[in-house]
Amino acid sequence: MRPFEPSDIQGNVVRGYDLPHACYLHAAVTGSPADAVALLRQLGTHVTTAADQAEWLARRRATVNVSFTSKGLAQFGLTPGEVGSWFPPEFVAGMACRSETALGDADRNVPAYWEWQNFRPDLLITVHAPDPATLDRKVAELSDATASAGAHLELQYASTIESKRGRSRREHFGFTDGISQPPLDTGSPLTANPIGGLPLAGGGWAPVPAGEFILGLPDLDEDEPALPCPALMHNGTYLVYRKIEQHVGAFQEWARAAGASAAGQMIDADPSAAAEIIMAKLVGRHKDGRPLVPAASPLGSLPSNNFRYEDDPYGVQCPLGSHIRRANPRDALGFDGALVNRHRLIRRGMPYGTPYEEGAADTDRGLIFVAYSGSIARQFEFIQREWLNDGDVLGIGHNTDPIAGTSAEPERFLVPQATRSVLFDIRADRLSQFVQVRWGEYFFQPGLAGLTWLCERGDEVSRHGSGSGSRADHETAQSATAAGSPWYDPGGTG
């Protein structure tokens, strides 16, 4: 078994950067294979690893990470056959092909309404920085490098939301975000506090094996999972990118109306306070991050992640349909979390757009959702389709998450009480959803050795013309994927 190698794993996976500014550079390379390889070698000199990210952050340097679409891997030297046989079908097809079938997206969340209609990148270059000036310098440097390879760029900026007390961890709806992250068992000092990891029978927690997110490392099923091409894939991970527009005005307007109604029938509070309570019920936490169920957390400490749902089986404290209970049911499905443990995500997203002000347009702000996983189908697609866009397994029927649901089903939200439960209609008269998917894609983020291997393969193709890697050949392979080749399962969960 190979040891944990932080110097070979790109940064922001094992631990987040926690930097306030970011830019996502989506690049479609149109130059020659030699130009593409030269670009990749240049980008490799900028990449931050898990081993050196602490030093880079201490020196206030910008961090850089590089990942590829399946089209990009073909552009950099892999043949369509290699891409199709080495990588899982959901990655090869891309998010647009999987949106309606494997994710359950519907209405205005489907690709026909996305931005960048005729653009699929080869590369995602992600830059994080401590301040706007540092970010702009690094983005300009990398933009010049990609231009030399004949790349077309689309940029997406993001930043944490600034409040009166400075930068916060809140998203645009006003809730503290990013609290619940799976702690990784790396067998090294980088292993995090296990709270919020795998719930143990009788109490306590265990960290999640790193192989659930990093390819080639021990996971919950195997000590050393086999990889089709270890030289490229070991210490890599899959990155899910999803731009989600948040309709803050619609969310606040609905909450005010619901609060006015609930203040007289279920909550002993004035309408304004009732609206805050209802919004907390939708999310599963208060705006400051405190969970709705009792948690073991010292008073005045950071929002706790040390809680379970075993003492709240009917959702009286935290409704069964609340967002955080859907996204990570913890022990709520029984069997000491065994039905949940293999469906976890490392989330590294960031808000985009300016904070909402009353009367402003309810567009152009939201979340750049970024998540890492060892299996896109088993982790991200399963969570979105089965837990966020449906509710059967959670005991609430075919009903979607009002915060992150993207299906066409009406959203009804039940708030159980000891004496009388209340049902809220989230989408009366087919009102707009609180969120809308604006774009998305699947990427593979290799380790540093994998980047080197890809450069060497690209050099070989450039010198000898062996293999394929041409755009036309890959598009042919992708069309076969979407049409139902033997290894493509549009609705599978892996």
Q: What's the confidence (pLDDT) of residue 477?
A: 41
What is the pLDDT confidence band of residue 402, given thresholds at 50, 70 and 90? confident
| pLDDT at residue 452 is higher than 90 | yes
Confidence category of residue 380, pLDDT binned at 50, 70, 90: very high
What dihedral angle (degrees, nearest 10) is formed by the CA atoms of 141, 142, 145, 146?
Answer: -150
Q: What is the reported pLDDT for 473?
A: 42
What does the pLDDT read at residue 216?
95
Evaluate the CA torsion angle 327, 330, 334, 335 in order and state its sign: positive
| 10-14, 293-297, 387-391, 426-430: least confidently modelled range | 426-430
Residue that wins the pLDDT comparison between 482 and 147:
147
Q: How far does Cα 112 stand from its chain's mean position?
A: 21
Q: Mean pLDDT over residues 403-414, rounded?
A: 79
Closest CA to 281 of 427, 422, 76, 470: 422
Query: Which residue would you say has higher pLDDT here, 91 or 35?
Result: 91
Q: Which of 85-89, 187-191, 396-400 has the lowest mean pLDDT?
A: 187-191
Report, as an integer, the average pLDDT of 31-57. 92
More confident residue, 472 or 346: 346
- Confidence at residue 420, expressed as pLDDT on a 0 to 100 scale: 62
Categorize the per-residue pLDDT at 474 as very low, low, confident or very high, splitting at 50, 70 and 90: very low
59: nearest Cα among 139, 130, 9: 130
Is 486 a residue whose pLDDT tops 50? no
Residue 237: the pLDDT is 98
- Please report, as a single letter, which amino acid is at residue 19: L
pLDDT of residue 118: 87
163 confidence band (pLDDT: 50, 70, 90): confident
407/213: higher pLDDT: 213
pLDDT (tens digit, 9 = 90+) per residue, 4-22? 999 999 999 999 999 999 9
Asked whether the beta carbons of 440 and 241 are under 8 A apart, the reply is yes
pLDDT in tens, 218-233: 999 887 789 999 999 9
Amino acid identity of 356? Y
Query: Which of the residue ranges 190-194, 269-273, 305-309, 441-445 has the most confident prediction, judged by mean pLDDT?
Result: 441-445
Task: Give whole-number Cα distances, 465 to 28, 140, 425, 460, in Å.
Answer: 21, 32, 60, 7
Residue 162 banded pLDDT, cuts 50, 70, 90: confident
Average confidence score pLDDT of the chain: 86
Question: pLDDT value at position 472?
Answer: 41
pTM: 0.91
Q: What pLDDT was estimated at residue 300? A: 47
Average pLDDT over residues 45-73: 95
Model confidence pLDDT, tens digit, residues 73-110:
998 889 999 999 999 999 999 999 999 999 999 999 99
Give me the pLDDT at residue 349, please.
96
pLDDT at residue 72 is higher than 90: yes
Query: What pLDDT, in 10s, does the model give residues 458-470?
Result: 888 888 765 544 4
Q: Which residue has the higher pLDDT, 292 or 426?
A: 292
pLDDT at 406 over 60: yes
- Find the length of the chain: 494
pLDDT, tens digit, 9 for 90 and up, residues 251-293: 999 888 888 887 766 666 788 888 898 899 999 999 999 999 9
Closest listed residue to residue 341, CA positions, set 296, 374, 292: 374
Rounded to 5°, the CA angle 58-369-283 comes to 105
